[in-house]
Structures are given as C-alpha cells and as structure tokens.
Amino acid sequence: MARVYFGTDGIRGRVGEHPMTVDFALRLASAAGRVLASAGGTVLIGKDTRLSGYMFEAALEAGFVAAGVNVMLMGPLPTPGIAYMTRRLKCNFGVVISASHNLYEDNGIKFFDGSGGKLSDELEERIEAELAAPPQTRSSGELGRASRVDGTRTMYQEFCRGTLPEGMDLAGLKIVVDCANGAAYKVAPRTLADLGADIVPIGSSPNGRNINVGCGSMAPQLLQLTVPGVHAQVGIALDGDGDRVLMVDHLGRIVDGDQLLFIIACARQAQGALPGPVVGTLMSNLGLELALQARGIAFERAAVGDRYVLARLRETGGILGGETSGHIICLDRTTTGDGLVSALQVLAVMCQTKKSLAELAAGMTRLPQVMLNVPVARRFDPMGVPAVSTLLATLESQLGNRGRVVLRPSGTEALIRVMVEAQDEPLARRCAEELAAAVRAVGG
C-alpha cells in the first residue's frame, strides 16, 4: 500500500492545513496506539520549540490516553534524544513533534520504535490503514495515564558525553554552538560545558516563532562571523530538532556533512574500527567518494533520507553514513542521526590528532555542486516526462565521468530537486539551470 501521509521523515506540513491539524493528530495517536502498543503500553512524546508544539502535544496525549496508552511527556529535546530516551525508559515507542529544519509555520510528527529506530514502511502503512477508523476511547478503567518526565533529560546529556573516548574532555577548546533556537537549546551548551569547553552559545533563546530563523545549520552565516570574531577554534550549527550538524572552522569556513563524514571515517579507519562501507546518498558530493576511495574506504550511495542510509548500513554491516545536510549516523555510538553526538566525534578527532578542523577537512576536495529546488503544483516523477528524461541523458553524456546529475522529487515538500556536479561551477550551473527550466515547464 502506498503511504499517503508518511514521507521520508514522518508526517509534515503547514500548521492548520491537513494533515497538520488537531483532529488529525488525535486520530493519528489513536491509530498509532492500536498498532504500536497494546493497552497499558507506554509512549514517550518530545518536541522542539515551535509554538504549535503545545497544541499537538495535547492532541496526541489525548488520543493515546483515550486508546489506553500511557504517556510520558518529555518537553523540548532533540529528536535523537527522544530516540535514546525511548530506549532508555523502555517505552513501546516514541513520538517527536517537529518539522526539523523548517520554519515555525510548519510542524510534523515522527515516530521511533522501542529500540530507538525509525519505523519500518510496513508499520507506517499499518498506521495509515488504521486512520480510517474513528478515534478509540476506552472505558475509564482502561484509560492510559500521562506524566511529565522532562527532568530526566540529563540522562541524554550523560549519554552524549559518554560517546567520547573514556577520559577525554574538551578543556582548552573554545566553541561557538548555534542551537537554531530549537530543541537543543539547553542540552547542547550544557553538554559541551560539562566536558570543559569554553562555550559561546547563540541561537539559544527560543520564543516559539524564531526556530531556524537566521540561525542554525540552515543559516550558519552568524556562526561564520562569530567563530573568528571571538577567536574560537570551532563552531557547531545544529538544526531545529538537533539531528543535523554543520561545523565552522577557525577561519569561519563551513565544513558540511560530507566533510564531517570523511573526517570521522578516516579516524575510525585509523583505529581499525570501520567495518563495512561508508554510506552516503545520491546527493553526497563526488569529492567524498573519491577521497574515501583514495584511502581504501568503500563507499556506497543510498536513496536520499537518513532512513535509507540506515537501512543500507544494516544491510552491509557498516557503522557510518550520512548526508551532505549534516544527518550523520554513527551506529557504533547511537541508533539514529544525532547532530550533537556527530559533532562530539569530530571534536574527539581534533583532540586526538591535535589538528584543527580546517586541517582535517583539507583531506577532501569538494567538487562544485549546484542544487536548485523547483516548486511544482504537485509531486510527480520527473523521469516519467520524456522532455525531462531526454535532456537529463544529454547532460549526463556531456559530463561523462567529470560530474553527476541527480533529479528527484522531495520527500517532504512539493519540490523537484535538481543537483549537478562538475569540474567547474559555471558548467554545473548551466546544466542545472537547463534541467530546472525543463522541470518548471511541465510542473510549474
């Protein structure tokens, strides 16, 4: 059965528009409760800092309690923190209310199973099938109970600290951390400070509406100015729900997810702790693949979306994968993409090698990459349009082995993403704009 509501990262949309409404959230909770937990089971609910999070939290709580599922309310905590705490508190499943890197007008709902992993396609399909039934309300004696457990977030901070090598701290490092006015605004600065770093926090004053606005991994310009401005060694930029990370070197230059993945992979290889291939996506820069190959590290590409990276890692026995956007999965440390944990792994390499982030990133040369997002009236497969597929084949022939072209619909928005890599930026841009124009002509 094709999924209608679940995309690559849960259910997401504009608040007040279907499906991001209170009545849908109530129905979703009832359906998910029936699929993921028997009566008396427990769900952990966390959220980011969006104003609408309170509304959806209340609707989900009501739906779960009415279905006989006990509810633990965690409050604001990064998405990977909810994954960890779901496992730590032995809940049947976890729910995160977040639209990740989107602005506050959007929100979303995503699920973790009891082990802290993403739900399978089969479970998401079963939940959607249950949405056809009305919300369930059990008798008074069978209702679930709700409680707040936000005081336990220190468990997640302790877990993050524990992902560093035993005995290591960050004393002597001055770090600017941008929390995107989002879910990590408390735990990220506190974790880094507890490890002895000198912390300069920015993007850590959420007001319900400023999440991801001019800050965080989607807008790191302020971080790029602040790091050299305060003479810090490194900057960390998280996104609104804390599962993405970009970093900034001491000169204010961005180090993206591909480069961070390269740094961690090389360190794991040097330690003899890199089983299986490193897994990227169709959008990972060709420079990452070439740099890893030069060091004898196998590299594979999965479909875009951290769930597909994770699936490929499990299939191949790998432990390390990620996306250019900064979703990095270190399965030897945690079960899902975690921006703070990933940043800590890079900081550990800096401490162990006594090298700056700039020196570590210099081992990989990024090929010029142009990405264009083409808004469309509806989602469709652009490869099914002859005019588009023919042009794509022509451009690929022109580039040969000097570049790549990727064309795909977004999994969360009404967009077609066009990406072109080439040896020089003008060629990449020309090809991308030609392809974007062809897509716009048929889907605008």
Question: Which of the residues are catalytic?
Answer: 100
- Residue 112: CB partners within 8 Å, gap ≥ 6? 82, 83, 86, 93, 94, 95, 96, 118, 119, 336
DSSP 265-320: HHHHHHTT---S-EEEETTS-HHHHHHHHHTT--EEEE-SSHHHHHHHHHHHT--E
CB count in 10 Å sphere of residue 441: 11
Kind of pairing between the strands at 245-248 and 254-255: antiparallel
> Cα–Cα distance between 332 and 86 in angstroms, integer?
18
- Residue 444: CB partners within 8 Å, gap ≥ 6? 374, 375, 376, 377
- Which tokens in the block code for residue 50? 């969006």
Quick one: DSSP state of residue 140? G
Beta strand ranges found along 352-392 (DSSP E):
369-375
Residue in this structure with the two tokens 């479909």, named with its chain if needed:
303
CB count in 10 Å sphere of residue 243: 33
Among 440, 253, 281, residue whose Cα is nearest residue 362: 253
> Cα–Cα distance between 162 and 159 in angstroms, integer?
5
Please check whether residue 60 is in contact with residue 45, taking contact to mean a CB–CB distance below 8 angstroms.
yes
- Residue 224: CB partners within 8 Å, gap ≥ 6? 235, 248, 252, 253, 254
Strand order in 70-76's β-sheet? Answer: 11-14, 106-113, 93-97, 42-47, 70-76, 146-148
**CA pseudo-torsion sign 250, 253, 256, 258:** negative
Contacts 24+ apart (CB under 8 A), 222-225: 222/178, 223/176, 223/178, 223/248, 224/248, 224/252, 224/253, 224/254, 225/252
Kind of pairing between the strands at 299-302 and 254-255: unpaired
- Residue 314: CB partners within 8 Å, gap ≥ 6? none
> Cα–Cα distance between 238 and 360 in angstroms, integer?
20
Strand partners for 161: none
